[in-house]
Amino acid sequence: MDKLSIIHYFPIDYFPPVMNLIDALEEKVDISVSTLQKSNTLTEYSSKRAKIYRRFKENKKRGSLFVLAQYILFSLFTLFQLIRQKPDVVLYYESISAFPAYFYKRFICRKVKLCIHYHEYITPSEYDRPGMRLAKTNHKFEISYLYRTATWISQTNEYRREFFMQDYPDVSKVSCSLLPNYPPQKWFRKEKQHTNEVVKCVYVGSLSLKNTYVLEFCQWIAEQHGKVWFDIYSFNFHKNTLDAIEKLQCPYIEFHKEGIKYSEIPDLFDLYDVGVLLYKAKTMNVKYCETNKFYEYLICGLDVWYPKEMTLLHEMDKRMFAPQIIEMDIAQGIFPKLELSPREVDNSSYDKFSEKVYESFMKFLDKQQD
């Protein structure tokens, strides 16, 4: 494989697995990326060698006609880029990104290798949800053509892959693969010292009162009277979430509304003891989610606290990791027992790195080219 074209409709700056794939492969293959331009103050991702074409700025507040027009223009520009670059492989992420790949593969270059990856697992019925019209239209192209011509279709873990194959039994099992959400090896911390004079917790990511237990967790923090500190780094949150947390007026909670640059996360995590997951897990997607946050916490030697609704983590053999992975029943008010004594974590057995995943992906594609 000499040329790889990536189609990722939503801004790649919000998706660490895409950035990690580019970083892992850009020295080995000519990469071009078609994506939207982000609309917030988060630092824009840049690559040493990959060509990143940011088509238009995302705008979540505009009407459906504007979104449709923007999508059509994005697809046309992306299609033009594919025709000009003549890639060996096209990789698109999520159904929303499928149309340019579909048109190019079916009508322009049938010999191109097609790869599909899903950040999220979406059941067939969930394509009928509000706001999914474009994705649903593209999904029809996936079912009618793309799934049977794709070289590679991947989910982030074994559970999701099994669900996908049950949903689409006609898809070749040979093409159904895994592409886990692991962080890069440079994040690795072989040892972690927990001083535990107080327990310092951190959360990085999107937040809402509807989909996370952030308010309940913050209320528990306030009840600990300084035994636990909690820092939140989020640029993507609902205003009522921030208002509810600020209303607590807890001096042991700090909300960093600007978020954090992805490359700065490992040094930030050196300051903390525990990484927190707070999803209410109302859908199959989240119940069986190995979120990239989970491995980002672990690779840095942080303990992980998670809600019991996250079924995959509940069923996981946690003994394979040195940090403590502790379940919370937040809905019932059950939180971890605090340990305020010093503890050192030997994290040397950790071995889940993005480079290994994407090198295996590239080797698979190289074999298909032979």
Give domain limits for the chain: 3-181+353-369, 185-346
Q: Are 169 and 302 in contact (CB under 8 A)?
A: no
The CATH code that applies to domain 3-181+353-369 is 3.40.50.2000
More confident residue, 338 or 158: 158
Identify the CA nearest to 296 among candidates 268, 329, 331: 268
Q: Dump pLDDT digits (tens) for 311-367.
A: 999 988 888 999 999 999 999 999 999 877 788 999 999 999 999 999 999 999 888
Q: How would you classify the pairing of strands 228-233 and 253-256?
A: parallel
Cα dihedral angle (160, 162, 163, 165), rounded to 10 degrees? 120
Mean pLDDT, residues 278-286 taken together: 96
The helix/strand/coil state of 333 is coil
Residue bearing tokens 């088509």: 55
Q: Determine the length of the chain.
A: 370
Three-class SS of 108-163:
HCCCCEEEEECCCCCCHHHHHCCCCHHHHHHHHHHHHHHHHHCCEEEECCHHHHHH
Q: Are 313 and 306 in contact (CB under 8 A)?
A: yes
The reply to whether 185-346 shares the fold of 3-181+353-369 is yes
Class of domain 185-346: alpha beta
pLDDT at position 92 is 98
pLDDT at 147 > cutoff 90: yes
pTM: 0.95
Contacts of 296 (CB under 8 A, 6+ apart): 16, 183, 187, 204, 265, 269, 275
Q: What percent of the chain has pLDDT over 90?
A: 87
Residue bearing tokens 């309940």: 216
Sheet (strand 325-328) strand order: 253-256, 228-233, 199-204, 274-276, 303-307, 325-328
Element (H, E) at 242: helix 239-247
